[in-house]
Amino acid sequence: QVQLVQSGAEVTKPGASVKVSCKASGYTFTGYYVNWVRQAPGQGLEWVGRINPDSGGTDYAQKFQGGVTMTRDTSISTAYMELGSLRSDDTAVYYCAILVEGRQYWGQGTLVTVSS
Amino acid sequence: DIVMTQTPLSSPVTLGQPASISCRSSQSLVHRDGNTHLTWLQQRPGQPPRLLIYKVSNRFSGVPDRFSGSGAGTDFTLKISRVEAEDVGIYFCMQATQFPWTFGQGTKVEIK
């Protein structure tokens, strides 16, 4: 079955960077975009961007352009999202998610806490 | 971007009674492939979002049949026929018809 397993929680300081991973299994990794979605504490869901695992091409929401980089390693079916120049308001749970024939599959989420 | 608007934002419900959530999109969600990529997600406290309904009215594997989705074009509805205690949480509609994905604000379902 489709599974997306994310890396563990991160605590980091303002101005630092963090890299979150999303390991895929149960489907053809290169066949479907991997999307990243952010949820700040007590808030709704916000699309961050996506990567085409086949070509490596990326699309980012305008709000996150310049602060996020998405990559992938097809040899281990893993997508990555690196967040740079972090601020306290980047504290959130970050989810990876894919859409396969209309059905969405979500990772378990990675809490990134930015605090001095 | 397509704007998704949910109503109500809060829904106190008596156990065993029905609940209904509406979702309206700022543009038609009919994709050029003929599908309408409107999804309903459930998020229980402290949990990641869980897929309930995809393509307007298709229940995902393992979702109880008390959940149903309907609608077309720009107006969609999620119904819970008889609310159970485990249904407490926040429900989001989202669209994947047009890039980028966009989400409704969320509707909090709680027991009266």
Angle at CA of residue B72, ends B111 and A43, nearest 5°: 45
The mean per-residue pLDDT over the stretch B96-108 comes to 94
Whether B93 has its CB under 8 Å from any CB of chain A: the answer is: no
Is a pLDDT exceeding 90 seen at residue B99?
Answer: no
**Which H or E run includes A81?**
strand A78-83
Whether B10 has its CB under 8 Å from any CB of chain A: the answer is: no
Q: Which residues contact B111 (CB under 8 A, 6 or more apart)?
A: B12, B13, B14, B15, B83, B85, B88
Which residues on chain A are in Cβ contact (under 8 Å) with B50?
A: 106
β-bridge pairing A92-100 and A110-114? antiparallel
Longest C-alpha distance within chain B, in Å?
43
Closest CA in chain A for residue B40: A104
Which residues on chain B are in Cβ contact (under 8 Å) with A26?
A: none
Q: pLDDT tens, B20-76?
A: 999 999 999 999 999 999 999 999 998 999 999 999 999 999 999 999 999 999 999
